[in-house]
Amino acid sequence: MGRKWNNIKEKKASKDANTSRIYAKFGREIYVAAKQGEPDPELNQTLKFVLERAKTYSVPKHIVDRAIEKAKGGSEENYDELRYEGFGPNGSMVIVDALTNNVNRTASEVRAAFGKNGGNMGVSGSVAYMFDATAVIGMEGKSEEEIMEILMEADLDARDIIEEEDSVIVYAEPDQFHAVQEAFRGAGITEFTVAELTMLAQNDVELQEDDQAQFEKMIDAIEDLEDVQQVYHNVDLGE
């Protein structure tokens, strides 16, 4: 796959940590997951997954607890899950996932973030076919060979296994996310550097310096929107 996942995650986490934006986004996602099912992660796989992701981003416990208590308290606040697709300069493609309590507002804001920064929104399906839903799980302290052995013993397959600096990153089918994590836990691995369900581009594109600067400005504008939870793209931004 070739994507430097840890570098991407660390860049995003560093940026988000400075504004506490990531905490607000996780708070909303945890609330929605807890409200849609049981507020107990052992009985709600969606909530369990979100909490595992939150842990890798060091989301404080009080943020998690507050969101779950809000769901338990019967809050009438409801959110719709939306996906937008669009284009940036020179073949760049973007997928935007949002949680919103005002569909018209969010659509208008996402469209403006694209349009004001050299991009444009596409119709549903215009971009997503060039991406693959993928489980990404990373850990430290194990070699690629040890990870392969754990997966083989659990009769699990991976799309790819890549060593990145001190970490090993496993790319797997999304429906294998929990099974892969449980296999690692059974082997004594309890901490994960990455635990994501994401959309990975089938092919990355490289942009010239001016286009890349414009593209990054567009992505920043989209990510800054309150309702936007995740942004995926096919641009190789380098390390």
Amino acid, single-letter form, for residue 17: A
CB 101 within 8 A of CB 28: no
pLDDT single digits (tens) 31-81: 999 998 889 998 998 999 999 889 888 899 999 999 999 999 888 889 999
Cβ-based neighbours of 133, under 8 Å, separated by 6 or more: 174, 197, 198, 199
Residue 230: φ, ψ to 5°: -140, 145
- Could you tell me the pLDDT band of residue 205, with boundaries at 50, 70 and 90? very high
- Who's near 15: CB < 8 A, 6+ residues apart? none
pLDDT tens, position by position, 3-42: 555 555 555 555 555 557 888 999 999 999 999 888 999 8
Distance CA 46, CA 56 (A): 16
Q: Which of 32, 34, 45, 85 has its CA nearest to residue 181?
A: 45
User: Going from the N-terminus, what domains does the chain have, and what CATH number goes with each?
Assistant: 5-72 (1.10.10.200), 80-129+202-233 (3.30.70.980), 131-201 (3.30.70.980)
The mean pLDDT of 167-194, rounded to a whole number, is 92
DSSP annotation string for 109-159: HHHHHHHTTT-EE--TTTTGGGEEEEEEEEEES--HHHHHHHHHHTT---S
Sheet holding 80-87, edge to edge: 120-121, 80-87, 93-100, 228-233
Q: What is the pLDDT of residue 105?
A: 97
